[in-house]
Chains A and B, each alone.
Chain A
């Protein structure tokens, strides 16, 4: 049973476009929702994270939108660049610093 579902599995976007990745969770005890970026041959690295007391968080070109009632959250990558080509994982945990439950990942390819 997958507690965090992520879609789409892959995404192709033109340079300058917007990439949108969606996640849904089931466990209402989750209260920390990070997004991780992973390049080939590297470990995941934290991109941005949100807690359920806010509905949106923006850091540079990356924005998380959070809908607590729907138990959904999404990552928007604005002005996508070829260097953004990577696999993105949403995750959830019961508190910051606790074990992470990951979504299945989205492979993003930004075409120049």
Chain B
């Protein structure tokens, strides 16, 4: 039973298209994140939601819009895709009430814009 699952795992699309990535966690965590991993493997926070409320938006273009319908889900919608958006996007979750605060990551969505 996967703790943090995201779909799809691979996404190939043309420039200018709009696409969405979905994420679900079954850990009962109150905080969810989107991270972007670029071609050099550098991982950077994009967004953070706590109890469905946006708490972090790290200078991400407006074309990226996260949406959290409930505490267990955090989706990422990307408009007008650009070549530079090609990367691996990771969803993660953690609990700010827990003792360890461990962040659990999904398997990633490899987005390729052609």
Report which A residues bind B (CB closer than 8 A): 32, 34, 36, 41-46, 49, 87, 89, 93, 95-102, 104-105, 107
Given contacts A42-B108, A43-B108, contact A95 B101 (CB under 8 A): yes
What is the distance, in angstroms, from A11's C-beta to the closest C-beta of chain B?
14
Max chain A Cβ within 10 angstroms of own Cβ: one of B48, B90, B99, B105: B105
Q: A49-B102, A99-B33, A104-B40 are in contact. List 20 more A-B contacts (CB 8 A).
A: A32-B101, A42-B107, A43-B4, A46-B102, A46-B103, A87-B41, A95-B96, A95-B101, A96-B94, A96-B98, A96-B99, A96-B101, A96-B102, A97-B95, A98-B94, A98-B101, A100-B43, A101-B45, A102-B42, A102-B44
Residue of A nearest to B90 (CB): A43
Give the CA-CA distance A49 to B101 in the complex, in Å: 10
Residue of A nearest to B100 (CB): A96
A-B contact count (CB 8 A): 66
Residue of A nearest to B94 (CB): A97
Cβ–Cβ contact B45 & A41, under 8 A: no
Contacts of A45 in B (CB 8 A): 105
Bitwise interface map of B from 39 to 71 toward A, beta carbon under 8 Å scored 1, else 0 = 011111100100000001000000000000000
Among B40, B48, B97, B102, point to the contact of A99 (Cβ < 8 A). B48
Residue of A nearest to B41 (CB): A105
Give the CA-CA distance A107 to B103 in the complex, in Å: 21
Give the CA-CA distance A15 to B32 in the complex, in Å: 38
Max chain B Cβ within 10 angstroms of own Cβ: one of A36, A43, A104, A107: A43
Give the CA-CA distance A32 to B35 in the complex, in Å: 18
Give the CA-CA distance A102 to B35 in the complex, in Å: 10
The answer to whether B31 has its CB under 8 Å from any CB of chain A is yes
Cβ–Cβ contact B108 & A99, under 8 A: no
**A and B contact pairs by CB, cutoff 8 A, 18 listed:** A32-B101, A41-B107, A41-B108, A43-B4, A43-B106, A43-B107, A46-B102, A87-B41, A93-B101, A96-B102, A97-B94, A97-B97, A98-B94, A98-B101, A99-B48, A100-B45, A104-B42, A105-B41
CB-CB nearest 9 A-B residue pairs = A96-B101, A43-B105, A97-B101, A97-B96, A102-B43, A97-B94, A105-B41, A99-B45, A46-B102
